[in-house]
Amino acid sequence: MPKITLPDNSVLDFSTPVLGKEIAEKIGAGLAKAALAVSVNGELRDLTAVVDADATVAVITPSSPEALALMRHSASHVLAEAVARLFPGTKFAYGPAVDDGFYYDLDPATPLTADDLPRLEKEMAKIVKANQPFVRRELTRAEALAKYADDEYKTDNINRAKGDVLSFYEQGAFSDLCRGPHVPSAGKIGHFKVLSLAGAYWHGDHSQKQLTRVYGTTFATKEELEKYLRQIEEAKKRDHRVLGKQLGLYEFHAEAPGMAFWRHNGVVLRNTFINFLRELCYAHDYEEFLTPQILNRELWEISGHWENYADKMYVTTKDGRDFGVKPMNCPGAVLLYKAGLYSHHDLPLRWAEFGHVHRYEGSGEIHGLIRVRGFTQDDAHIFCAPAQLEDEIAHCIEFIFKVYTATLGMKFDHIELSTRPPKSVGTDEMWANAEAALENALKKLNIAFKLNPGDGAFYGPKIDFHVADAIGRTWQMGTIQVDFSMPERFDLHYVDENSARQRPVMIHRAISGSIERFLGVLTEHFAGDFPLWLAPEQARILPISDAVLPYAKEVKKQLAAAGLRVTVDGKNEKIGAKIRHGELAKVPYLIVIGAKEAEAQTVAARRRVRGDLGEMTVAALTARLTEEVKTRALPPSGEVKNN
């Protein structure tokens, strides 16, 4: 009979098979009341699941790490029941939990609008109050197909499901194909909010009918929900798509979906950031290369992209030959390596490339600069001997920290080490050595990390860096990947100290990952208030009248000579209006010049966030700005102000 080992290593003995909820009751009435599910040997199960063998069991409560996803998954079923009540005839695709909430994809008989969201939320509240239990039922595949014969979405899901016996969950009058588990009853889904509507294609296939996706979220406490809703409101103010247009950085047009149109300010921002990365690359002994955007099919077949990535590639045929627009830069770097002859004396080779790539993303996946079809990768491909691998990984990690923490003041939410997936290339020894090299590099630098088993690339393990922005959202940004596949596929070699040919190891390193995505995140992180060194327009001179315009132009000339990006607002407007325009444009320094300043050959300066700095000489202002640029100082007090 089952012997249950608890997280504190204490043991409970039962004379018969036991339910998860009975284990919780045995521990204590308070725990049983709070229980949402149980973890049996690491597998999450319903409280009604039977444990009939020795096992390690943990009771999941709202404070457990696993609880939120469980509650959100259950909340999606409650949402679906609310839709079924209010919109009879609706067909249901699927409703998973996601990182910040849940959604359900629906095919309603009558269209849903934003005005329906409060009604859905109110109906969900009724269902929660009724507190109907989630009940698991099992059907054979044949029984399930018969039950849902008139529902093309459920039939498709049933056909895709694994196993001959499928599970369904019922709460109230609603039933859905679902692996589970769920909280014990609808009243346990926590504090929720129905948030928005969007369109989504069935299985992401744009050739299929567009469904209605309803988004919501839930949290264990009211305070957590309110904090999240405040974060959403703050995120709206920081939306990079809105700020991009407002600040003259970038915009988007239907003529090129998923691709940014960069205006002058955006080009300045982009080039300034790229030049910063380029400067660091040169300081870290990288050479820079640039490879073609279109390469022939034969290359992509050798690299494996034609077989495994063709649906994401843009393809063209000319002169009877197939060509692919590159979705990645690495095959070009490999060709350059293969064209040379290298010995162990030459390694490591650190090759940087700011290469423009294109990947086809579904229309429902495109989102401003965050998810685009055309973007620039700040790639580096490092070719090294196996014995150099650990040092090169550490070198890359330090580079990433230099950019994110030392320069931009961004914090890492967490860092993941992803290990060998089920499908992979390379020997056991290769994988063991590469994983050890990644882990050892992190440990030597005293960097905490999470292990992400089985989520490495097919060609090697990787480290992913997840960054927290100014309002607490996390973004997966930089990455370091070890690659066995490319050197093998392209038969790359170097000559070792014994004049023998050896296979190099290839490291893929991206600091920002995508320049476009990174600048989108950075725009939202700083709310458009970029540090002075990054700001496209660093200072704007505001003459009070036409009489002082010649002096204003002379001040601009002096500041520009120091390498500063300065404009003059010579419009015939009152100074208050000019200041307001400068604030809306989020120009770091506004320089007011009136008759007094012109006569004294001084200026009156204002710094965003900090306010008036008083009167000073042009030389003093120049020194102040150039020092702030040189040190790449963050905005005053680290604050970000929204105007």
* Helix or strand (DSSP H, E) at 72: helix 67-86
Catalytic position from the list 344, 359, 373, 395: 359
Cβ distance 401 to 287 under 8 Å?
Answer: no
Pick from 445, 409, 402: nearest CA to 283: 402
Cβ-Cβ contacts under 8 Å for 460 (sequence gap 6 or more): 426, 430, 431, 434, 481, 482, 483, 484, 485
Report DSSP state, residue 548: G
Catalytic position from the list 178, 281, 330, 396: 330
330 among known catalytic residues: yes
DSSP string, 296-313: EHHHHHHHTHHHHSGGGS
Query: Do strands 55-60 and 505-510 pair parallel, antiparallel, or not at all (unpaired)?
Result: unpaired
Pick from 476, 416, 477: nearest CA to 450: 416
CA dist 134 and 129 (Å) reads: 14
Pick from 158, 169, 165: nearest CA to 136: 169
Tell me the CA distances in angstroms from 261 to 255, 366, 372, 460, one per residue in order: 11, 15, 12, 35
462 among known catalytic residues: yes
359 among known catalytic residues: yes
Q: What are the structure tokens assigned to 251, written together?
A: 């915009």
CA dist 590 and 583 (Å) reads: 8
Query: Do strands 321-325 and 374-384 pair parallel, antiparallel, or not at all (unpaired)?
Result: unpaired
193 among known catalytic residues: no
Report DSSP state, residue 115: G
- DSSP H stretches of helix in 322-427: 330-338, 389-401
CA dist 112 and 95 (Å) reads: 17
Query: Phi, psi (5° rounding) for residue 171?
Result: -140, 125
Catalytic position from the list 191, 238, 508, 565: 508
Report DSSP state, residue 110: S
Tell me the CA distances in angstroms from 347 to 286, 507, 511, one per residue in order: 12, 13, 21
Catalytic position from the list 21, 381, 525, 565: 381
Catalytic position from the list 238, 420, 462, 509: 462
CA dist 146 and 85 (Å) reads: 23
Pick from 229, 276, 269, 225: nearest CA to 526: 269
CA dist 65 and 61 (Å) reads: 9
Q: What share of the chain is helix, strand, coil (3-state, %, to 5)?
A: 40, 30, 35
601 among known catalytic residues: no
Catalytic position from the list 105, 116, 379, 569: 379
Which residue numbers are catalytic? 330, 359, 377, 379, 381, 462, 508
